[in-house]
Chains A and B, each alone.
Chain A
Amino acid sequence: MRDVRAELQEIFRQVFDDPTIVLRDDMTAADVEGWDSVTHIDLLIAIERALGIKFATAEMSRLKEPDQNIGSFVRLIESKLQAG
């Protein structure tokens, strides 16, 4: 089974150019310095390339909502991986 969280953390560190980032489920965009609309897309493109999945516009948007966090991000990726 893939360790999505570990892979995601590595992608976060590369995209935000910050090797100190440690992901927690309750983290939101406000907790990561520089996580704006532009880096959000950079992040999603990097995830799409690394994990071979695609995000729809509504999903990209939903992940930016205030009630979303790393936990919901991981769950979405896992559901996409399972769906193949």
Chain B
Amino acid sequence: MAVCSLGFLFFCGAAVIIFHVAPGKRLRQIVLACVSLMFLIPLVPDLRSWIWFVFFLGITYGALALVRAQSRGWIVTAAVSLVLLLYLYVKRYTLLAAFIPFPLALDMRLHKAELVGLSYMTFKFIHMLIDQWQGQLAPFNLWRYLNYQLSFFTITAGPIQRYNDFLKYWEEMDLQPSETRESLLYWIRILTGMIKVGLLGAYVETALKSYGGLWTTPTLGSVLIAFYAYPVYLYFNFSGYTDIVIGAGGLLGFRLPENFNRPWLSRNVLDFWDRWHITLTHWIRDYVFMSSYKAAATAFPRGARSWSYALLFFALFVAGVWHGTTDAFVMFGVLNGLGAAATRAYGDVLRATIGHQRLRAYLKNKTVRLVAIVITLHYVCVCQLFFANDVDHALSILSALGTCLANLPAAVSRYSWQGPALVLVAAAVLLTALWKSDAAGSFFERAGRWLGERNGLLSTILCAQCAFVAGMFFVQWAFQQEPPPVLYMQF
């Protein structure tokens, strides 16, 4: 079921009504389990995938139960290694196939099994296993585990909710339904997400396809759109999806973690990843970076600084290659890793050369901040070229961009300021406004709080959004368009 569709809206509405009508925690848990199953069924393509599902959930639950019975480090290591190998096999990393002998390599290329949500289930399992081993996991059983792994608002593309947080809401289901104001806010969030995915994201994607793909004679406009539009599209698409599932989860009593925090205002690559796909970054921070850096810095205290650069690179590299199996995603990971290590090294150099006091003043300097934001924004756009395209095409866009910039005065004088240029000017104005975010952010926060306290206004906004979204779906229906896919569901 497409998340940005009329079907999903009705699905959510029906689920919420049945959920709130059901008396008591147990019945509500059963309702939620049924809803998750109904959401999952259309996404699983064939019997083979169902067998994979059962196999994956069976062995991971077995591993968890084993670690609960015998808390041994080698069991944890073996289970994590096994699941990661399974992950790499099912995801069919083409690069790995080159190093793995026949016939497994052939099988990796040809295998048709798809496992929706495998990445996110793997993240959740590893987190549970390590926390169980370290005595930090709340009690679990098969029923809770299956519901945690398969809950419909996190399985396809996150956000990665931690088990203890999930269990808290799972056990509080017999509490009174959320108040009207909260329900209105969650519905508004769902519809906002649908507008982001179905209208804004789809519009930017159309612009990207129309202009960014014209490579016979690249023009300034097409090159700029190819460079800037994809990150904007990805943001609308993924943050819109996140809004939808956070709203849906909220209506069913689950407060899901946020995944975005104004990422285009990041002042360096590390800051960007702390604001973009936050739950993935935090998972990698906790279970890849912190664990490995702690081990390295404890074993080699004198080399801790060097280890921090290497492991930051590794952590962001992992975040990159997790997204895809091709060499373009390897480049994406390498660039992000280099950006993270360079950010850290630059901070260390500044601290060593100018000292704490002057560093504080430097960090507070508004001009420095704006320059840092602009540089980061462009670095992220370069990285995302490799996210969106194969390596050759990404390099050709960069090359065309370099040529256009070298001939900028002539290109501008020849250029007709219509169509894509207007979009770019609008984007530039929007970004400039975002740079003034301290004032704008606090204004919107105050406005949001003010609105949030007025149910009448919230209802009006919701009605307007309903009309807008209904129009959007009508156009989709009238022109026989497929609901726009959520890009992150393929990961």
Where the two chains meet, the residues of A that have a C-beta atom closer than 8 Å to any C-beta of B are 16-18, 20, 33-34, 36-38, 40-42, 44-45, 56-61, 64
Contacts and interface: CB of A to CB of B under 8 A. Distances in A.
Contact of A60 (B290, B304, B359): B290
B287 A57 contact: yes
A57 B291 contact: yes
A16 B356 CA distance: 9
Contact of A38 (B135, B136, B162, B312): B312
B286 A57 contact: yes
Interface stretch (B292-300, B395-403, B437-445): B292-300
B285 A41 contact: no
Nearest to A36: B270
Q: Which of A16, A34, A40 has the most CB of B within 10 A?
A: A34
Contacts of B360: 33
14 contacts: A16-B356, A17-B356, A18-B356, A34-B351, A34-B359, A38-B293, A38-B308, A41-B290, A42-B304, A56-B135, A57-B134, A57-B291, A58-B137, A60-B286
Contacts of B294: 41, 44-45, 60
Contacts of B109: none
A45 B356 contact: no
B378 interface: no
B297 A41 contact: yes
Given A34-B356, A38-B344, A58-B286, 15 more contacts: A33-B356, A33-B359, A33-B363, A36-B347, A37-B290, A38-B308, A38-B312, A45-B298, A56-B131, A56-B136, A58-B136, A61-B282, A61-B286, A61-B290, A64-B285
A20 B130 CA distance: 37
B386 interface: no
A57 B290 contact: yes
B317 interface: no
Given A34-B351, A57-B136, A42 B297 contact: yes
B289 interface: yes
A9 B40 CA distance: 51
Interface of B: 130-131, 134-137, 162, 164, 270, 282, 285-287, 289-291, 293-294, 297-298, 304, 308, 312, 344, 347, 351, 356, 359-360, 363
Nearest to B292: A41
Contacts of B308: 38
B290 A59 contact: no
Instruction: Pick the 10 closest A-B CB pairs, nearest first.
Output: A56-B134, A58-B136, A61-B286, A38-B308, A56-B136, A58-B131, A41-B293, A41-B294, A18-B356, A33-B360
B77 to A, nearest CB: 14
A59 B136 contact: yes
Contacts of B136: 56-59
A24 to B, nearest CB: 17
B interface: dominant SS: helix
A57 B312 contact: no
B362 to A, nearest CB: 10
A61 B288 CA distance: 12
Contacts of B287: 57
A63 B162 CA distance: 15
Given A57-B131, A57-B134, A34 B285 contact: no
Contacts of A61: 282, 285-286, 290
A59 B164 CA distance: 12
Contacts of A64: 282, 285
A65 B293 CA distance: 19
Contacts of A33: 356, 359-360, 363
Nearest to A39: B308
A42 B351 CA distance: 16
Contacts of B347: 34, 36
Contacts of A58: 131, 134, 136-137, 162, 164, 286
Contacts of A37: 270, 285, 289-290, 293
B201 to A, nearest CB: 28
Contacts of A17: 356
A30 to B, nearest CB: 11
A76 B136 CA distance: 13
Q: Which of A34, A37, A44 has the most CB of B within 10 A?
A: A37
A44 B356 CA distance: 21
Contacts of A36: 270, 344, 347
A81 to B, nearest CB: 17
A38 B290 CA distance: 8
A56 B135 CA distance: 8
Nearest to A61: B286
Contacts of B312: 38
Contacts of B131: 56-58
A5 to B, nearest CB: 22
B123 to A, nearest CB: 13
Nearest to B131: A58
Nearest to B134: A56
Contacts of A42: 297, 304
Contacts of B134: 56-58
A34 B352 CA distance: 12
Q: Which of B270, B289, B308 has the most CB of A within 10 A?
A: B308
Contacts of B293: 37-38, 41
